Amino acid sequence: MTMGCGSSKKLKSVSSSELIINTTLLPKGSQSREATNNRKTNAKVKGNTRKTKTTLFRFDSVLTDKYEIKAQIGQGAFSPVFRAEHKATRQPYAIKVMNLKDIRGTGSEELFQSEIAILRQVKHRYIVNLYDIFTSKVRVYLVMELATGGDLYDRVYSRGHFTERDAARVIFMVLDGVRYLHSHGITHRDLKPENLLYYHPGNDSRIMIADFGLSHAKKSVEDSMMATNCGSPEYQAPEMLQRKHYTNAVDLWAIGVITFILLSGRMPFDHEHRPKLDEAILAAKYTYTGEVSLAVFIVLRYKLELQTDQFAFLCVCV
Protein backbone atom coordinates (compact mmCIF):
# COMPACT_ATOMS: atom_id res chain seq x y z
CA MET A 1 0.00 0.00 0.00
CA THR A 2 1.36 3.40 -0.97
CA MET A 3 0.46 6.39 1.14
CA GLY A 4 1.25 10.08 1.04
CA CYS A 5 3.04 9.85 -2.30
CA GLY A 6 3.08 12.37 -5.10
CA SER A 7 2.54 15.45 -2.94
CA SER A 8 6.10 16.76 -2.95
CA LYS A 9 6.87 20.15 -4.47
CA LYS A 10 9.27 20.33 -7.40
CA LEU A 11 12.37 22.49 -7.53
CA LYS A 12 12.12 23.15 -11.24
CA SER A 13 9.51 24.24 -13.80
CA VAL A 14 7.60 26.27 -11.24
CA SER A 15 5.78 29.58 -11.38
CA SER A 16 4.24 31.80 -8.71
CA SER A 17 0.63 32.90 -8.38
CA GLU A 18 -1.80 34.26 -5.81
CA LEU A 19 -4.10 32.35 -3.52
CA ILE A 20 -6.76 34.51 -1.87
CA ILE A 21 -8.46 33.29 1.30
CA ASN A 22 -11.66 35.06 2.35
CA THR A 23 -13.16 34.65 5.81
CA THR A 24 -16.24 36.00 7.66
CA LEU A 25 -17.34 35.40 11.25
CA LEU A 26 -20.97 34.63 11.93
CA PRO A 27 -22.73 36.60 14.69
CA LYS A 28 -21.73 35.64 18.22
CA GLY A 29 -23.95 32.94 19.63
CA SER A 30 -24.29 30.99 16.38
CA GLN A 31 -23.58 27.28 16.51
CA SER A 32 -20.66 27.71 14.16
CA ARG A 33 -18.81 30.59 12.61
CA GLU A 34 -17.19 31.20 9.27
CA ALA A 35 -13.70 32.45 9.50
CA THR A 36 -12.67 35.10 7.16
CA ASN A 37 -10.00 37.58 6.25
CA ASN A 38 -8.16 38.46 3.06
CA ARG A 39 -4.75 36.98 2.56
CA LYS A 40 -2.50 36.69 -0.47
CA THR A 41 0.29 34.17 -0.62
CA ASN A 42 2.69 33.01 -3.29
CA ALA A 43 2.12 29.36 -4.18
CA LYS A 44 4.81 27.55 -6.14
CA VAL A 45 3.37 24.74 -8.19
CA LYS A 46 4.66 22.75 -11.08
CA GLY A 47 3.48 23.72 -14.54
CA ASN A 48 0.75 26.30 -15.08
CA THR A 49 -0.15 29.08 -12.67
CA ARG A 50 -2.72 28.11 -10.04
CA LYS A 51 -6.01 29.91 -10.49
CA THR A 52 -7.13 32.38 -7.85
CA LYS A 53 -9.91 30.96 -5.69
CA THR A 54 -11.96 31.83 -2.63
CA THR A 55 -12.19 29.44 0.30
CA LEU A 56 -14.92 29.65 2.94
CA PHE A 57 -14.69 27.55 6.07
CA ARG A 58 -17.18 27.05 8.87
CA PHE A 59 -15.94 26.66 12.45
CA ASP A 60 -17.60 25.30 15.59
CA SER A 61 -18.20 27.49 18.62
CA VAL A 62 -16.27 25.00 20.78
CA LEU A 63 -13.21 26.52 19.11
CA THR A 64 -14.23 30.10 18.35
CA ASP A 65 -15.35 30.78 21.93
CA LYS A 66 -11.67 30.61 22.84
CA TYR A 67 -9.79 31.45 19.64
CA GLU A 68 -10.16 34.17 17.02
CA ILE A 69 -9.54 32.82 13.52
CA LYS A 70 -7.40 35.11 11.37
CA ALA A 71 -6.58 33.46 8.03
CA GLN A 72 -5.89 30.17 6.29
CA ILE A 73 -2.17 29.55 6.06
CA GLY A 74 -1.96 26.04 4.65
CA GLN A 75 -3.84 23.22 2.98
CA GLY A 76 -3.14 19.51 3.27
CA ALA A 77 -4.93 16.67 1.52
CA PHE A 78 -7.68 16.57 4.18
CA SER A 79 -6.67 19.23 6.72
CA PRO A 80 -6.59 23.00 6.19
CA VAL A 81 -4.47 24.99 8.64
CA PHE A 82 -5.47 28.40 10.01
CA ARG A 83 -3.72 31.14 11.94
CA ALA A 84 -5.56 32.05 15.14
CA GLU A 85 -5.13 34.05 18.34
CA HIS A 86 -6.11 33.07 21.84
CA LYS A 87 -8.76 35.62 22.84
CA ALA A 88 -7.50 36.05 26.40
CA THR A 89 -3.72 36.01 25.90
CA ARG A 90 -3.52 37.16 22.23
CA GLN A 91 -0.94 34.43 21.73
CA PRO A 92 -0.84 33.28 18.07
CA TYR A 93 -1.32 29.62 17.15
CA ALA A 94 -1.81 27.42 14.12
CA ILE A 95 -5.01 25.35 14.07
CA LYS A 96 -5.20 22.18 11.98
CA VAL A 97 -8.76 21.10 11.15
CA MET A 98 -9.71 17.46 10.60
CA ASN A 99 -13.18 16.41 9.40
CA LEU A 100 -14.27 13.28 11.23
CA LYS A 101 -16.18 11.99 8.20
CA ASP A 102 -12.90 11.92 6.26
CA ILE A 103 -11.19 9.70 8.80
CA ARG A 104 -13.86 7.50 10.42
CA GLY A 105 -14.20 4.03 8.95
CA THR A 106 -11.20 4.50 6.67
CA GLY A 107 -7.51 3.70 6.77
CA SER A 108 -6.95 7.33 7.71
CA GLU A 109 -8.52 6.88 11.16
CA GLU A 110 -5.64 4.77 12.45
CA LEU A 111 -3.12 7.25 11.04
CA PHE A 112 -4.98 10.14 12.63
CA GLN A 113 -5.07 8.47 16.04
CA SER A 114 -1.37 7.68 15.70
CA GLU A 115 -0.55 11.29 14.81
CA ILE A 116 -2.46 12.59 17.84
CA ALA A 117 -0.72 10.11 20.14
CA ILE A 118 2.69 11.14 18.81
CA LEU A 119 1.99 14.87 19.06
CA ARG A 120 0.84 14.42 22.67
CA GLN A 121 4.07 12.59 23.45
CA VAL A 122 6.72 14.83 21.88
CA LYS A 123 8.05 18.12 23.22
CA HIS A 124 11.18 19.50 21.57
CA ARG A 125 12.57 22.81 20.35
CA TYR A 126 12.87 21.55 16.77
CA ILE A 127 9.47 19.88 16.57
CA VAL A 128 6.10 21.62 16.16
CA ASN A 129 4.33 21.35 19.51
CA LEU A 130 0.67 20.48 20.14
CA TYR A 131 -1.01 22.67 22.79
CA ASP A 132 -4.70 21.79 22.76
CA ILE A 133 -7.37 19.65 21.11
CA PHE A 134 -11.05 20.52 20.57
CA THR A 135 -13.63 18.07 19.31
CA SER A 136 -17.12 18.72 17.92
CA LYS A 137 -19.62 16.33 16.34
CA VAL A 138 -18.01 16.72 12.93
CA ARG A 139 -14.45 18.00 13.44
CA VAL A 140 -11.28 17.81 15.47
CA TYR A 141 -9.20 20.98 15.92
CA LEU A 142 -5.51 20.70 16.76
CA VAL A 143 -4.08 23.87 18.30
CA MET A 144 -0.38 23.87 17.47
CA GLU A 145 2.72 26.03 17.59
CA LEU A 146 2.63 28.69 14.88
CA ALA A 147 5.47 28.87 12.37
CA THR A 148 5.47 32.18 10.45
CA GLY A 149 8.67 31.82 8.43
CA GLY A 150 7.41 29.50 5.70
CA ASP A 151 8.92 26.12 4.89
CA LEU A 152 12.41 25.07 3.88
CA TYR A 153 11.34 24.40 0.30
CA ASP A 154 10.38 28.03 -0.27
CA ARG A 155 13.70 29.26 1.09
CA VAL A 156 15.69 26.95 -1.15
CA TYR A 157 13.58 28.01 -4.12
CA SER A 158 14.09 31.72 -3.41
CA ARG A 159 17.86 31.40 -2.77
CA GLY A 160 18.77 28.81 -5.38
CA HIS A 161 20.86 26.86 -2.89
CA PHE A 162 22.38 27.29 0.58
CA THR A 163 25.99 27.90 1.51
CA GLU A 164 27.64 24.95 3.17
CA ARG A 165 27.57 26.69 6.55
CA ASP A 166 23.86 27.58 6.28
CA ALA A 167 23.02 24.07 5.11
CA ALA A 168 24.96 22.59 8.03
CA ARG A 169 23.02 24.78 10.49
CA VAL A 170 19.68 23.58 9.11
CA ILE A 171 20.69 19.91 9.07
CA PHE A 172 22.06 20.20 12.61
CA MET A 173 18.60 21.25 13.85
CA VAL A 174 16.81 18.58 11.81
CA LEU A 175 19.15 15.90 13.13
CA ASP A 176 18.65 17.05 16.70
CA GLY A 177 14.87 16.79 16.27
CA VAL A 178 15.09 13.41 14.54
CA ARG A 179 17.47 12.07 17.20
CA TYR A 180 14.86 13.03 19.81
CA LEU A 181 12.11 11.28 17.84
CA HIS A 182 14.16 8.12 17.38
CA SER A 183 15.07 8.07 21.07
CA HIS A 184 11.32 7.97 21.77
CA GLY A 185 10.71 5.18 19.26
CA ILE A 186 9.18 7.46 16.62
CA THR A 187 10.03 7.32 12.91
CA HIS A 188 8.76 10.31 10.92
CA ARG A 189 8.70 8.63 7.46
CA ASP A 190 7.85 11.81 5.53
CA LEU A 191 10.79 14.15 6.04
CA LYS A 192 11.09 16.67 3.20
CA PRO A 193 11.62 20.45 2.90
CA GLU A 194 7.86 21.11 2.90
CA ASN A 195 7.60 19.53 6.37
CA LEU A 196 10.44 21.58 7.84
CA LEU A 197 9.05 24.93 9.00
CA TYR A 198 10.79 28.15 10.05
CA TYR A 199 9.58 29.57 13.35
CA HIS A 200 9.97 33.15 12.06
CA PRO A 201 11.06 34.82 8.78
CA GLY A 202 14.56 35.77 9.99
CA ASN A 203 17.75 34.06 8.83
CA ASP A 204 18.45 32.99 12.44
CA SER A 205 15.12 31.18 12.82
CA ARG A 206 15.01 27.67 14.19
CA ILE A 207 13.61 24.80 12.13
CA MET A 208 10.59 22.80 13.33
CA ILE A 209 9.68 19.33 12.08
CA ALA A 210 5.98 19.08 11.20
CA ASP A 211 3.33 16.71 9.81
CA PHE A 212 3.35 13.39 11.66
CA GLY A 213 0.48 11.88 9.66
CA LEU A 214 2.65 9.03 8.35
CA SER A 215 4.82 8.58 11.44
CA HIS A 216 5.22 5.30 13.28
CA ALA A 217 5.65 4.87 17.03
CA LYS A 218 6.94 1.50 18.13
CA LYS A 219 4.93 -0.19 20.85
CA SER A 220 7.74 -2.30 22.28
CA VAL A 221 11.51 -2.76 22.14
CA GLU A 222 11.03 -5.53 19.58
CA ASP A 223 8.77 -3.37 17.41
CA SER A 224 11.60 -1.65 15.50
CA MET A 225 10.86 -2.93 11.98
CA MET A 226 8.27 -1.41 9.63
CA ALA A 227 6.82 -2.54 6.31
CA THR A 228 4.38 0.18 5.11
CA ASN A 229 5.44 1.84 1.86
CA CYS A 230 4.75 5.52 2.56
CA GLY A 231 6.10 9.02 2.19
CA SER A 232 6.95 11.14 -0.84
CA PRO A 233 8.60 9.22 -3.71
CA GLU A 234 11.69 11.41 -4.16
CA TYR A 235 12.65 10.95 -0.48
CA GLN A 236 11.97 7.23 -0.05
CA ALA A 237 14.85 4.95 0.94
CA PRO A 238 15.81 1.97 -1.29
CA GLU A 239 14.65 -0.67 1.21
CA MET A 240 11.19 0.92 1.25
CA LEU A 241 10.98 0.83 -2.55
CA GLN A 242 12.09 -2.81 -2.50
CA ARG A 243 9.17 -3.63 -0.15
CA LYS A 244 11.63 -4.81 2.50
CA HIS A 245 11.19 -4.41 6.23
CA TYR A 246 13.01 -1.27 7.30
CA THR A 247 14.09 0.68 10.41
CA ASN A 248 14.12 4.34 11.41
CA ALA A 249 17.20 4.71 9.17
CA VAL A 250 14.79 5.67 6.37
CA ASP A 251 14.56 9.09 8.04
CA LEU A 252 18.33 9.46 7.61
CA TRP A 253 18.09 8.69 3.91
CA ALA A 254 15.50 11.46 3.59
CA ILE A 255 17.81 13.84 5.46
CA GLY A 256 20.51 12.93 2.94
CA VAL A 257 18.22 13.93 0.08
CA ILE A 258 17.37 17.19 1.88
CA THR A 259 21.07 17.91 2.39
CA PHE A 260 21.70 17.42 -1.32
CA ILE A 261 18.87 19.83 -2.15
CA LEU A 262 20.19 22.50 0.22
CA LEU A 263 23.69 22.38 -1.25
CA SER A 264 22.80 22.08 -4.92
CA GLY A 265 19.34 23.61 -5.27
CA ARG A 266 18.08 20.54 -7.12
CA MET A 267 16.80 17.04 -6.49
CA PRO A 268 19.32 14.18 -6.52
CA PHE A 269 16.70 11.92 -8.11
CA ASP A 270 14.22 13.70 -10.37
CA HIS A 271 12.21 11.78 -12.97
CA GLU A 272 8.64 12.35 -14.13
CA HIS A 273 7.99 8.64 -14.47
CA ARG A 274 7.91 6.67 -11.23
CA PRO A 275 9.75 3.57 -12.55
CA LYS A 276 12.68 5.74 -13.69
CA LEU A 277 12.71 7.55 -10.34
CA ASP A 278 12.74 4.29 -8.39
CA GLU A 279 15.50 2.93 -10.62
CA ALA A 280 17.70 5.98 -9.95
CA ILE A 281 17.12 5.75 -6.18
CA LEU A 282 17.88 2.03 -6.05
CA ALA A 283 21.10 2.57 -8.00
CA ALA A 284 21.95 5.74 -6.00
CA LYS A 285 22.42 7.37 -9.41
CA TYR A 286 23.07 11.07 -8.86
CA THR A 287 25.70 13.71 -9.63
CA TYR A 288 27.28 16.14 -7.18
CA THR A 289 30.68 17.84 -7.48
CA GLY A 290 30.90 20.16 -4.46
CA GLU A 291 32.78 19.75 -1.19
CA VAL A 292 30.79 19.35 2.02
CA SER A 293 33.15 19.06 4.97
CA LEU A 294 30.68 20.60 7.44
CA ALA A 295 27.97 18.10 6.49
CA VAL A 296 30.45 15.29 7.18
CA PHE A 297 31.27 16.89 10.53
CA ILE A 298 27.60 16.88 11.50
CA VAL A 299 27.29 13.16 10.77
CA LEU A 300 30.35 12.43 12.88
CA ARG A 301 29.14 14.79 15.62
CA TYR A 302 25.94 12.82 16.06
CA LYS A 303 27.55 9.39 15.52
CA LEU A 304 24.45 8.28 13.68
CA GLU A 305 24.06 4.60 12.91
CA LEU A 306 23.27 4.56 9.19
CA GLN A 307 21.62 1.19 8.63
CA THR A 308 19.97 1.99 5.30
CA ASP A 309 21.03 0.07 2.19
CA GLN A 310 22.85 3.10 0.79
CA PHE A 311 24.81 5.74 2.73
CA ALA A 312 22.19 8.19 4.01
CA PHE A 313 23.96 11.43 3.24
CA LEU A 314 24.01 11.14 -0.55
CA CYS A 315 25.94 14.33 -1.13
CA VAL A 316 28.97 13.05 0.79
CA CYS A 317 29.06 9.64 -0.88
CA VAL A 318 32.13 8.65 -2.84
Which residues are designated catalytic? 190
What's 119-180 look like in SS3?
HHHCCCCCECCEEEEEECCCEEEEEECCCCCCEHHHHHHHHCCCCHHHHHHHHHHHHHHHHH
The Cα–Cα gap between 13 and 158 comes to: 14
Let me know: does 213 contact 190? Beta carbons within 8 Å: yes
CA triple 135-139-142, angle to 5 deg: 65
